[in-house]
Amino acid sequence: MATVKAKLRPSTVEGRPGSVVYLVTHRRRVRQIAAGYRLLPAEWEEMQSLPAGRQEGEPTSRIGTIRQAIGRDTGRLRRIIGELAARREEFTADEVIRQFRMSEKGMSFFGFMEDIIRRLRQWGRERTAENYATALASFRRFRRGYDLAPDELDTTLMGEYEAHLLARGVAKNTVSFYNRILRAVYNRAVEQGLTAQRHPFRRVYTGIDRTAKRAIPLECLRRIKELDLAKRPSQDFARDMFLFSFYTRGMSFVDMAFLRQRDLRGGILSYRRRKTGQQLCIKWERPMQEIVDKYASGADGYLLPIVRRCGNERRQYRNALRRVNNRLKDIAAAVGLPGGLSMYAARHSWASIARSQNIPLSVISAGMGHDSENTTQIYLASLDNSEVDKANDLILRKLK
């Protein structure tokens, strides 16, 4: 039977770290694989063939991480040997190494996730790709850059990852967000036969926690609108973008950023939501025009000056959103609004104020472009868009 052993090859230079290698022995032939880890002799336990000094409670410490990685690598090598032996066919140490290399290339979880992200971008699903990239970056930081195979994800590892995030003050909903994305990638790996379904996410949080209400009352909106920001142009711009979102029934910032001048025709602003692909039409109102008149148009026919030049439009949008949200925090402090302020609050506020004016829920759902709830689809199918325009007109007149 073939054997596997991890060994530290000392450096020829005194005081320098040596290299960890895996020795695969079969039928008296020994083959070597470079593990890619470097350790000092004092950091290695020769008897256990593992790094020394791993401290309990520190699974992501340098030594602990390398120890885990070596354990997984040698475990994978032993699984390959077991599978080859089960076939009752002759094999060599070179074949073990070949399959190990192939599994490294074809079954890398990071690599598999990066391939999904590339495909999402090719399909034009940029927002989803960004979310996946964010989750991957978080998980990669936790792993200290050390990759793993999909079949190495287990309940213990995911529990450690969740504890790692919570210990660093990551919000519960963000933890769930990362876990759900990683679970989706894992499930896709299962579908493609890269691993068996072991349900590694069954003990971690993947729900939606209640968050603080983000809507702000009509009176507070008036105070924001009436602020004198003539000497603070960056805050003035942030305030105008917030109000434009509110005026347009809570339009998301990404949809605002990519509005084109051609989208405004005959007093109707028509656009397709990037999140859902749903087409929305909004009656153009005077407050909207006042904001558009206040600024030069963006690059390449954009209606608002969020994208200011051709090239890297998505990055410009993200940077602008970050700047606007930072300035909105200053505005919130100026009007005494606890809890801060962000662009997303405009959407919540429009819905909350519309509800307070006894506008039917079906009209609010249609106005905001909701299409994820089956209960609203019945109303959306027969709702006259003029009802939504009347509702928006009523809300804007209340703000005067």
CB-side neighbour CA atoms (13 Å) of 286:
5
- Three-state DSSP at 157 gives helix
53: left (phi over 0), alpha (psi -120 to 50) or beta: left
Q: Residue 20: beta bridge partners?
A: 8
Calculate the CA 360 to chain-centre distance: 34
Amino acid at 351: A
Q: Report which of 189, 206, 221, 15 is spatially closest to residue 111, judged by C-alpha positions.
A: 189
d(CA 14, CA 339): 58
Mean pLDDT by 10 residues, the chain (400 residues): 90 89 91 88 85 56 82 87 81 83 68 88 87 95 83 92 95 94 94 85 86 74 92 95 93 93 94 84 93 84 90 90 95 87 87 75 67 39 56 77
3-state helix, strand, coil in the chain (%, to 5): 55, 10, 35
Beta-carbon count within 10 A of 269 CB:
18
How far is the C-alpha of 353 from the C-alpha of 216, rounded, in Å?
Answer: 9
Beta bridge partners of 287: none
- Residue 47, Cβ density class (10 Å: 0-12 exposed, 13-18 middle, ≥19 buried): exposed
Domains of the chain: 3-106 (no CATH), 109-191 (1.10.150), 218-399 (1.10.443.10)
Give the predicted TM-score (pTM) of the model. 0.59
The pLDDT of residue 242: 94
Angle between helical axes of 155-167 and 172-191 (0-180°, round to 10): 150
Residue with tokens 């060994």: 7
Report the half-sphere exposure of 279 (CA within 13 A, side-chain side): 4
Please give the pLDDT value at position 386: 58
